[in-house]
A and B are shown apart, each in its own frame.
Chain A
Amino acid sequence: MSEYRVSGRGRIDSTQPVTFTFDGATYRGFKGDTVASALLANGVHLMGRSFKYHRPRGAVAAGSEEPNALIGTRRGAGRFEPNTRATVQEIWNGLETSSQNKYPSLKFDVGAVNDAAYMLFSAGFYYKTFMWPKSFWDKVYEPFIRAAAGLGVSPTEEDPDTYASRNLHCDVLIVGAGPAGLAAARAAAVKGVSVVLVDENAEAGGTFLSEPQARIDGKPAWDWLASELAALREMGVRIMTRTTAIGYYHQNMIGLCEKLTDHLAELPADTPRERLWRVRARQVVLAQGALEKPLVFHGNDRPGVMLAGSAQTYLNRYGVLVGKRPVVLTCHDSAWYAAFDLHRAGAKVQAIVDTRGSVRDELVSEAKSLGIPVKLSHTATATSGRLRVNSIRVNPVSGDTVGAGEKIACDAVLMSGGWTPSLHLFSHTKGKLAWDDDRTTFLPDVTPEDCVIAGASRGLWGIEAALTDGADKGRAVADALGVTRNAVAYAVEADRTGTGVSHKELPTDRSPGKAKAFVDYQNDVTAKDLRLAVREGMRSIEHVKRYTTNGMATDQGKMSNINGLNIASDALGKKQPQVGLTTFRPPYTPTSFGAFAGYHRGAHFELTRKTQIDAWAEENGAVFEPVGQWRRAWYFPKPGEDMDAAVRRECKATRSSVGIFDASTLGKIEVVGPDAVEFMNRMYTNPWTKLAPGRCRYGLLLGDDGYIRDDGVIGRMTEDRFHVTTTTGGAARVLNMMEDYLQTEWPHLNVWLTSTTEQWSTIALNGPNAAKLLQPFVEGVTLTEEAFPHMSCVECTVAGMPARLFRVSFTGEIGFEVNVPAPMGRKLWETLWEAGQQYGITAYGTETMHVLRAEKGYIIVGQDTDGTVTPYDCGMGWAVGKKKPDFVGKRGLARPDLVAEGRKQFVGLLTEDGSKLEEGAQIVFDPKQQIPMTMVGHVTSSYESEEVGQPIALALVQGGQNRMGDTVYIPMPDRTIAAKITSTIFVDPENARLKI
């Protein structure tokens, strides 16, 4: 037995010893211990260093609200987790744990120099101390702050664990399996009502686990608990432990995080580490209980100073005395019971110090009968002890006068500043809170959700009150579900009810400016910091919070919010509700990224769309690039080629013979119906009525604001059927827009829209030999200038496959796009590839496609346009059907700003020194003007061009179409580049090459 273990107490299994390490030293505990309870059993209080001042810290609490005892846990390679609360992590044989925020060691830490320099680190210190000199910020202050700040160390390896994700629907979800939750479950659980009861702890029971002295209906608490849990399971209640309700979302959706393996020595096969549950409950009962508040006084953070209720939990649940000579410091009755429990278990309580002048007689007389000195109307003004508290200074208080201090030697201080109802999940529902002056706390008021709150989380103290209220609330939700239940009463003996008062900082005889009285342990925020924030002008609690960082640590102010509010409202001279409480947000406790990601990791993180020809490209050495969700072949390097060389070769081959390109990702929409042509007339700028079946046309799609949204070649297959193509990334957006207009503006039009993107494989052949290569495979049409001119389309057969053949060009060369049913794509590709060998056929990727189209001045929507570009800006007024009475964007094009002079217009650029411009570079007319210069446009596309003999660029330039031949300037960090404005068409402006 360890020195501080009390034989026969607690719920640990003393027949199962467990060995684990903390900072390399080996410790023993028992099955059922947490890291904190096992360390405390070995007399270890020092568990970490604080965030800002690197002060030595120990566990303050025994549950998930713990702000100080944060540790790293390790289970072999890849399984390291920082910032785990030692008060929650269960031990198992071989567990490795380590303290945080210390260098070189926990007992001697050089960062603790910050503590001596605490005057520099007061509220808002970032904004003040580090302002000057300015040049110091990058090189001195920021690196220093970054190295010193932060909690724990991030894991560096990929997490080998799996995380699961589940949905659950139930009639009643109860959060918290303490007295209120258990009673609510019992009341709601009837045939036909599904009840789920969750608790974040390793076992259900809540307060019962810390109060074995109580008797319920004549049974000892733990016997009653065991039989009640068995009965609930028998009734079909699903009880989930180690399961935290992390967030309460709209319409009774609650997120649960269930931890499945962190407490096990051996990882079971096929079991995820955590499971994230999305629960949709018809009714919710919140029974989360209450959290004890610390008292705020100088030295209240020394290891060994902890919450009295937590000390009671360590004793009764884990069989651990947190000290043998504790002093109890309180303003609430509950800590008296903790004192009695520890005293009876063998500790010698040095004193019960209560700030109140009068305390219930029965408590005082019980203390006296146990021989515990009692000091009423006293405050605490200091503690001492370097790595563990060894004394506390207490002073009598009379009115506003603090009397002479007296030092009491001790090895622990058990404090209680009263209790705060746990309102986190209730606040997630947008539930309103009401200030309760008597209890000096917020209580739940109304919520828009189907949710009730029971027990200590609405300010009721004691087991009987919680059981009764839980039963009432259980009946209420059953009633809401249409099930009538009878009232039940519980008889509770040895219940511990009580009252208390609430404090701001405790009164002191010291200079308040020098007091290190901590409010937020995790972020090292003191009472002095809060008062300073108010003095410096912060009025709202939200500003005070951000200026001081009070409540902003990973514990979200579970312990500090109400103390912080009391101090801030005192400093402001306002009542607490006028100062307000900060908003609680999910998650309730820190939750792993793994739980949120669930199955969506690695290849499942994001969908990758691949064409039927993708595998061929991969086999043939393509380098890929992502385009929307597609991965597309970017270029096909030969051995030894870099990207530039590959693209040069691909361009040259296509312009001189024939290139083959996978265009399957192009969006495709089938527009069909008697009113198809009318619909097309209304959607696209172009006129469609006179387009004959078998012909196609370049279409421009605008928004009603007049700006270009999308473009693509559209073929009229028959009178009532259009084959619409869109940009690769725009397919879904365009279909959504078409559906929107069709369904809501023109529902009378008889038209059907179908996405056919994935129904077709599309292969583009471009180059002077394209027709020669393709002709032998085509049945049903002759590929001559007369029979199948540029911008024709036809349904025919290609290599024996049913096909839609388009004669279009995005390169300026003779071009065809062959659409075949998607699964046939690769076969057609390989057929053409083989036959094309005689022409030296070359596969090209998206980069070559970009170069070839830029040489012809063809725009790419989204690259050369940015949502503020009109067809006229692009020199494509020819695509606008001005005679049509209306189309989407027609009225928009007449808006005053869109017809104004000096709009940015699409032009070509050739640099004077032959260098390649950077896409996105800004353009100015006068390079000698003062900075900031007037920017008149930017480079939208820029490529090397073998064909042109120098790099080419496309750009948007103010009034550019009237500035042909002018020189503009592109200032870069190292120099300014001069470029001449040219036509956007760099190659074959007469389109001679399009002819067969």
Chain B
Amino acid sequence: MLLIHCPYCEETLPEAEFAHAGQAHVVRPENPSAQSDEEWENFLFIRSNVKGPHYERWRHVHGCGRFFNAVRDTVSDRFLTTYKAGAPRPDLETLTGEVK
């Protein structure tokens, strides 16, 4: 069972308290009706399928109830970091120590 740090509760807690909520940083457009079919399709359906560090959303559903973001390595299943919703996307090179 994974251990997940809730950036709102500032505690590291067992995975059973959390629910995965899909890819992070998929912003709903300000004015959806102005979107082309392709843009809307992209927003609705197209997701990355990352092997390695992945930006994703979790919800502390059995705790504070807040949605937050995380970077999780899909190979090792390790959380590299978690951060509050709305915070900027953390830099991968800093997190992994690797320069691409």
Contacts and interface: CB of A to CB of B under 8 A. Distances in A.
A890 B3 contact: no
Contacts of A278: 1
A124 to B, nearest CB: 33
A81 interface: no
B31 interface: yes
Nearest to B40: A891
A895 B40 contact: yes
Contact of A743 (B32, B41, B67): B67
Contact of B33 (A705, A740, A743, A891): A891
Contacts of B33: 885-886, 890-891, 894
A251 B85 CA distance: 25
Contacts of A373: none
A885 B28 CA distance: 15
A747 interface: yes
A250 B40 contact: no
Contacts of B1: 249-251, 253, 278
Q: Is the interface of A mostly helix, strand, loop or mixed?
A: mixed
A736 B59 contact: yes
Interface in B28-83: 28, 31-33, 35, 37, 40-41, 43-44, 57, 59, 61, 65-67, 76-78
B35 A891 contact: yes
B9 interface: no
Contacts of B78: 251, 448
A806 to B, nearest CB: 28
B67 A740 contact: yes
B28 A890 contact: no
B21 interface: yes
B95 interface: no
Given A448-B78, A891-B33, A895-B40, A745 B3 contact: no
A896 B40 CA distance: 11
Contacts of B21: 740
Nearest to B1: A253
Contacts of B97: none
Interface string A124-140: 00000000000000000
A744 B32 contact: no
A171 B37 CA distance: 55
A749 to B, nearest CB: 14
A900 to B, nearest CB: 12
Contacts of B43: 704
Nearest to B66: A743
Interface string A739-760: 1100111010000000000000
Nearest to A705: B44
A250 B31 contact: no
B24 to A, nearest CB: 9
Interface string B1-34: 1110000000000010001010000001001110
A890 B33 CA distance: 7
Contacts of B77: 250
B86 interface: yes
Nearest to B24: A744
A892 interface: yes
Q: Which of A278, A704, A896 has the most CB of B within 10 A?
A: A704
Contacts of A745: 28
A739 B31 contact: no
A772 interface: no
Contact of B37 (A249, A448, A739, A896): A896
A278 B41 CA distance: 44
A631 interface: no
Contacts of A263: none
A430 interface: yes
A740 B76 CA distance: 28
Q: Which of A251, A745, A890, A892 has the most CB of B within 10 A?
A: A251
Contacts of B85: 743-744, 747
B56 to A, nearest CB: 13
Interface residues of B, number: 27
A430 B32 contact: no
Given A250-B77, A886-B31, A704 B2 contact: no
A570 B96 CA distance: 41
B37 A892 contact: no
Given A740-B21, A747-B86, A885-B33, A704 B66 contact: no
A704 B27 CA distance: 13
A448 B76 contact: yes
A330 to B, nearest CB: 41
Interface string A264-308: 000000000000001000000000000000000000000000000
Nearest to B35: A891
Contacts of A250: 1-3, 15, 77
Given A736-B59, A743-B66, A744-B67, A891 B3 contact: no
A195 B38 CA distance: 59
Nearest to A732: B61
Contacts of A894: 33
A890 B65 contact: no
Contacts of A430: 76
Interface in A697-753: 704-705, 736, 739-740, 743-745, 747
Contacts of A886: 31-33
Contacts of B2: 250-251
A743 B69 CA distance: 12
Given A448-B76, A743-B85, A747-B86, A891 B65 contact: no
A842 to B, nearest CB: 41
Contacts of B40: 891-892, 895
A138 to B, nearest CB: 41
Nearest to A894: B33
A896 B31 CA distance: 18
Contacts of A253: 1
Contacts of A747: 85-86
B91 to A, nearest CB: 21
Contacts of B57: 744
B44 A892 contact: yes
Interface string A940-961: 0000000000000000000000
B47 to A, nearest CB: 14
A728 to B, nearest CB: 20
A736 B35 contact: no
Contacts of A251: 1-3, 78
Nearest to A250: B2
Nearest to B77: A250
Contacts of A890: 32-33
Contacts of A895: 37, 40-41
Contacts of B76: 430, 448
Contacts of B86: 744, 747
Nearest to B32: A891
Nearest to A886: B32
A448 B77 CA distance: 9
Contacts of A739: 59, 65, 67
Contacts of B32: 704, 886, 890-891
Nearest to B73: A448
Interface string A389-416: 0000000000000000000000000000
A704 B42 CA distance: 12
Contacts of A744: 57, 67, 85-86
B28 A704 contact: yes
Q: Which 9 A-B pairs have the closest CB atoms?
A: A891-B32, A448-B76, A743-B67, A745-B28, A250-B2, A251-B3, A744-B85, A253-B1, A744-B67
Interface of A: 249-251, 253, 278, 430, 448, 704-705, 736, 739-740, 743-745, 747, 885-886, 890-892, 894-896
Given A249-B1, A705-B44, A744-B85, 12 more contacts: A250-B77, A251-B2, A278-B1, A704-B28, A736-B19, A740-B21, A740-B59, A743-B67, A744-B57, A745-B28, A886-B31, A892-B44
5 contacts: A250-B2, A251-B2, A704-B28, A739-B67, A744-B86
